[in-house]
Structure 1
Amino acid sequence: MTTTRTARELAEAYFTAWEAGDFDTLRGLLAENVDFVGALGTASGVEAALAGLKGLGQVLEKIDMKVRVAEGDDVITWFDLHTSVAPPTPTANWMHVDDGKVTRIRVTFDPRMLLAGFERPS
């Protein structure tokens, strides 16, 4: 018997996998045609979305989840994004799920400190 995860469960698995750098698990959660729009860019398709998650994953230290609200196939997660290049960044992430996979992700935050951190010489 196959059990389909709820949108909330998918969101929890997504953030756990991303924080752990488990991109194989992330791939399994995303639809092939996942559509991502965020403050640092856009991505169409699973490969482009994973590339973006891996890129930010290089500086990701911790995801400090504050609240997650789910209604039907939609989930909004509010968290502080902790990175090695900037102070914690308050972030909102909205996901939409179809047929047990994440199909749409929208992320918003103030990117100024992250961008400044990326520009600092190593």
Structure 2
Amino acid sequence: MTTTMTAREIAETYFAAWQAGDFETLRGLLADDVDFAGALGTASGIDEALAGLKGLGQALEKIEVRVRVAEGDDVITWFDLCTSIAPPAPTANWMHVDNGKIARIRVTFDPRELLAGFSR
């Protein structure tokens, strides 16, 4: 029997794996040609996306999910991005799942405090 995760379950697994620093699990969730755009940059393809997640992951303390809304293959997660270098940043993440893999991610938040933290 094969079990296919819903887009919501994929999003839940993505955030849990990122918070845990489990990049092997993250790799398994992302499409090879995943397209990422966010407040700190863009990434094309799985290797660039993982590099970005690893980079921010160095300062990541926790992800405090406030709400997650899923409709079909689209999921929006509203969360506080808690890092060791800046106050929590309220963040919105939209992801689109295609054929069981995350194909597109868009993230928005005010990056000023985080950027200042990186420069210290």
TM-score (norm. length: structure 2): 0.99
Q: For residues 89 and 97 of structure 1, what CA distance do their matches in structure 2 show?
A: 25
* Partner in structure 2 of residue 47 of structure 1: 47
* Partner in structure 1 of residue 98 of structure 2: 98
Which deviations, in whole Å up to 9, do the C-alpha atoms of 1:26-58 show, x marking residues without a partner? Answer: 000000000000000000000000000000000
Work out the number of aligned pairs and report it. 120
Work out the percentage of aligned pairs sharing the same amino acid: 80
* Partner in structure 2 of residue 35 of structure 1: 35
Q: For residues 31 and 111 of structure 1, what CA distance do their matches in structure 2 show?
A: 26
Deviation at 1:2, TM superposition (A): 1.5
Structure 2 unaligned spans of 5+: none
Q: Which runs of 4+ in 1 moved over 6 A?
A: none
The two structures, once aligned, show a CA RMSD in angstroms of 0.4
Which residue identity does 1:34 align to in structure 2?
A: V
Which deviations, in whole Å up to 9, do the C-alpha atoms of 1:58-93 show, x marking residues without a partner? Answer: 000000000000000000000000000000000000
State whether structure 2 residue 9 is matched by structure 1 residue 24.
Answer: no
Which residue identity does 2:117 align to in structure 1?
A: G
Deviation at 1:3, TM superposition (A): 1.5
TM-score (norm. length: structure 1): 0.98
Which residue identity does 2:115 align to in structure 1?
A: L
